[in-house]
Amino acid sequence: DAGVIQSPRHEVTEMGQEVTLRCKPISGHNSLFWYRQTMMRGLELLIYFNNNVPIDDSGMPEDRFSAKMPNASFSTLKIQPSEPRDSAVYFCASSLTSGPYNEQFFGPGTRLTVL
Protein backbone atom coordinates (compact mmCIF):
# COMPACT_ATOMS: atom_id res chain seq x y z
CA ASP A 1 0.00 0.00 0.00
CA ALA A 2 1.17 3.47 -0.77
CA GLY A 3 1.44 5.69 2.25
CA VAL A 4 0.39 9.31 2.49
CA ILE A 5 1.68 11.15 -0.56
CA GLN A 6 2.65 14.79 -0.45
CA SER A 7 3.79 17.09 -3.20
CA PRO A 8 5.97 18.88 -3.79
CA ARG A 9 8.66 17.60 -1.43
CA HIS A 10 10.48 20.90 -1.57
CA GLU A 11 9.20 24.34 -2.47
CA VAL A 12 11.18 27.55 -2.67
CA THR A 13 9.24 30.70 -3.38
CA GLU A 14 9.45 34.41 -2.94
CA MET A 15 7.52 36.44 -0.42
CA GLY A 16 4.09 37.37 -1.69
CA GLN A 17 3.68 34.36 -3.96
CA GLU A 18 0.90 31.83 -3.61
CA VAL A 19 1.91 28.37 -2.44
CA THR A 20 -0.19 25.23 -2.76
CA LEU A 21 0.71 22.04 -0.95
CA ARG A 22 -0.97 18.80 -1.91
CA CYS A 23 -1.80 15.62 -0.06
CA LYS A 24 -3.22 12.26 -0.99
CA PRO A 25 -4.25 10.27 2.11
CA ILE A 26 -4.16 6.53 2.43
CA SER A 27 -7.08 4.98 0.60
CA GLY A 28 -9.96 4.24 2.96
CA HIS A 29 -8.84 6.65 5.65
CA ASN A 30 -11.56 9.05 6.75
CA SER A 31 -9.56 11.63 8.69
CA LEU A 32 -6.89 13.95 7.37
CA PHE A 33 -4.61 16.31 9.26
CA TRP A 34 -2.27 19.14 8.29
CA TYR A 35 0.67 19.90 10.61
CA ARG A 36 3.47 22.43 10.53
CA GLN A 37 6.89 21.75 12.05
CA THR A 38 9.41 24.44 12.92
CA MET A 39 12.35 24.59 15.27
CA MET A 40 10.74 27.33 17.31
CA ARG A 41 7.22 25.96 17.67
CA GLY A 42 7.65 22.23 17.14
CA LEU A 43 4.75 20.28 15.62
CA GLU A 44 1.50 22.19 15.38
CA LEU A 45 -1.84 20.91 14.14
CA LEU A 46 -3.23 23.38 11.63
CA ILE A 47 -6.52 21.77 10.62
CA TYR A 48 -8.19 18.40 10.39
CA PHE A 49 -10.98 16.91 8.34
CA ASN A 50 -13.37 14.04 8.96
CA ASN A 51 -15.08 12.64 5.89
CA ASN A 52 -13.88 15.64 3.85
CA VAL A 53 -15.44 18.13 6.27
CA PRO A 54 -13.20 20.55 8.21
CA ILE A 55 -13.71 19.85 11.91
CA ASP A 56 -11.18 22.06 13.65
CA ASP A 57 -9.19 24.83 12.00
CA SER A 58 -8.24 26.62 15.19
CA GLY A 59 -4.57 26.01 14.45
CA MET A 60 -4.60 27.85 11.14
CA PRO A 61 -2.34 30.84 11.77
CA GLU A 62 -4.28 33.49 9.88
CA ASP A 63 -6.44 34.19 6.91
CA ARG A 64 -3.55 33.75 4.54
CA PHE A 65 -3.86 30.02 5.15
CA SER A 66 -6.68 27.94 3.72
CA ALA A 67 -7.27 24.22 3.33
CA LYS A 68 -9.69 22.22 1.25
CA MET A 69 -10.61 18.60 0.84
CA PRO A 70 -12.79 18.31 -2.27
CA ASN A 71 -12.88 14.52 -2.09
CA ALA A 72 -11.67 11.63 0.00
CA SER A 73 -8.42 11.25 -1.89
CA PHE A 74 -7.12 14.80 -2.11
CA SER A 75 -6.46 17.82 0.05
CA THR A 76 -4.68 21.11 -0.43
CA LEU A 77 -3.16 23.65 1.92
CA LYS A 78 -2.77 27.07 0.37
CA ILE A 79 -0.84 30.08 1.59
CA GLN A 80 -1.58 33.38 -0.10
CA PRO A 81 0.41 35.56 0.12
CA SER A 82 3.36 33.69 1.54
CA GLU A 83 5.77 35.26 4.04
CA PRO A 84 9.25 34.25 5.21
CA ARG A 85 7.86 33.23 8.61
CA ASP A 86 5.82 30.54 6.84
CA SER A 87 9.03 28.65 6.12
CA ALA A 88 8.61 25.23 7.73
CA VAL A 89 8.02 21.58 7.00
CA TYR A 90 4.35 20.86 6.40
CA PHE A 91 3.09 17.36 7.07
CA CYS A 92 -0.11 15.72 6.04
CA ALA A 93 -1.36 12.72 8.00
CA SER A 94 -4.36 10.44 7.74
CA SER A 95 -6.09 7.97 10.02
CA LEU A 96 -8.64 5.26 9.48
CA THR A 97 -11.41 6.81 11.53
CA SER A 98 -11.95 9.79 13.75
CA GLY A 99 -11.34 7.89 16.99
CA PRO A 100 -8.68 9.45 19.25
CA TYR A 101 -6.93 6.10 19.69
CA ASN A 102 -6.26 5.71 15.99
CA GLU A 103 -2.76 5.86 14.60
CA GLN A 104 -2.04 8.78 12.34
CA PHE A 105 0.07 7.96 9.31
CA PHE A 106 2.32 10.79 8.23
CA GLY A 107 3.51 11.73 4.79
CA PRO A 108 7.14 12.65 4.10
CA GLY A 109 6.41 16.36 4.35
CA THR A 110 6.89 19.41 2.16
CA ARG A 111 9.80 21.64 3.06
CA LEU A 112 8.73 25.20 2.28
CA THR A 113 11.21 28.04 2.05
CA VAL A 114 9.88 31.54 1.53
CA LEU A 115 12.58 34.03 0.59
Partner 1 sequence: AQSVTQLGSHVSVSEGALVLLRCNYSSSVPPYLFWYVQYPNQGLQLLLKYTSAATLVKGINGFEAEFKKSETSFHLTKPSAHMRDAAEYFCAVNARATNKLIFGTGTLLAVQP
Site residues (CB under 8 A) for partner 1, limited to 49-108: 50, 55-56, 91, 93, 95, 98-108
The least CB distance from residue 98 to partner 1, in Å, is 5
- The residue type found at 80 is Q
Phi, psi of 83 (to 5 degrees): -130, 155
Question: Both ends of the chain: CA-CA distance in Å?
Answer: 36
In degrees and rounded to multiples of 5, residue 84 shows phi and psi of -55, -35
Can residue 43 be called a binding residue for partner 1 (CB under 8 A)?
yes
Residues that bind partner 1 (CB under 8 A): 4, 31, 33, 42-43, 45, 48, 50, 55-56, 91, 93, 95, 98-109
